[in-house]
Structure 1
Amino acid sequence: MMVSAAKLKEQAQKLGADFVGIADAEGFQRPEYTGNKPQEFMPGIRSVIVIGVVIPKGCVQPLPKGRPEYTNTLMAGTATLRVIAFRLARDLEKQGYEASLVPTEGSEFGMWYADQKTLRADISLKYAAWLAGLGSFGLNQLLITHETGPRIRMTAILTDAPLVADQPTRNAFVRPECTGCQKCIRACPVGAISSDGTFRPELCRDFMFSTLGGLRCGICIRVCPL
């Protein structure tokens, strides 16, 4: 039984998703991708379904004040995505396909989901979202979506269902506006972001889980004008 990509996206949006994209799993075999590959733990994977919700502006604008409220709002987004993805994964399996959920983007730093040395999750959700045409990367190493910038939360479903994949919509992997902006570089409280595109995630992790006691930072998201 063929799964309709259009119907799957419609179902995700009915369940509460703000945006949905489908990436061809073969995109993770590109030579420029250096992260972990989903094929390593799901050999028959065909598609990566990326699901996202938009984080309300009201919790971002007051930062660095209101970090408890900001963190709680992010966690609510995570809970929403888990329910949506679980429902979709169960439906895919009822149709005869395998499906597994990827940890929500943003929750891997210093937590259970990532390699504690490299801080890499099993796959890059942001790269999957780029493959699915949902946005481009910023200097802050966040996915910059076309409509709401980096103010998002994402998860994904890995499946062997042969879905029609979306395509990246921009030629540039990194948003060209970032070169002349660099607000996130100047605003980062720990200097984790560099103008040459390098990023030191361990500084971000240590700041949030040591200095802030587990609260999220969010400054690079607040200052981003995109």
Structure 2
Amino acid sequence: MKIFSCLKKLKWNLIIPAFFLTTLGLLSIYSSSLSSDFLIFKKQIIFFAISIALLIFLSFFDFRFLKTNSYLVLSLYFLSLLTLLGLLFFGKEIRGVKGWYKIGSFSFDPLPFAAIVLIIVLSKYFSSRHIELTRFTPILFSGIYTFLPTLLVLFQPDLGSSIILISVWLGIVIFSGIRIRHLLILILIFSIAFGFSWKFWPRDYQKQRIVSFLN
């Protein structure tokens, strides 16, 4: 009975579209593997099965305890920073980016873990600072939590992953009830910072991707 009660609590309006998109992705990988040994497809099936098992397993936990457990949340945050920092020294370079740990045939990308931890940290931060969102200072402090992992990702260098982390922060900031004036200030700050860094920060191929996307 407990299993059914936990399953009822799941956000099926989010899970079903995700399941549908994953199925489409698996079908696409399957069709592209018809002329090979289906190794990539088999790996994705295994990862998908593990994800479903984790989803069911984690549904038994009440994650509201994270709201009152600051030490655990901060420990997860610093652990995520260490995994990103370790990539600069022990990561395997693929196409000029050190974004993976390689142990034998097993590869591990710490970015998804860092993104999930960042969501937890920011959610906890804004849940305790929601009354102060009328001021700009709490928003800047939340940006520091995002700046540290983003900086480590940029050192890899991985522009796309850094944009993901910034998007996570912006999304949470917007839905936390930020004032329009503060949002415009953030956009102005990002625009100025991006303009100054354009000459010496993105590599040529990264600039080409950005220009192609904007066009």
TM value normalised by structure 1:
0.28
More helix as a share of residues:
2
TM-score by length of 2: 0.29
Higher RCO (CA 8 Å, separation ≥ 6 residues): 1
| Rg larger in structure | 2
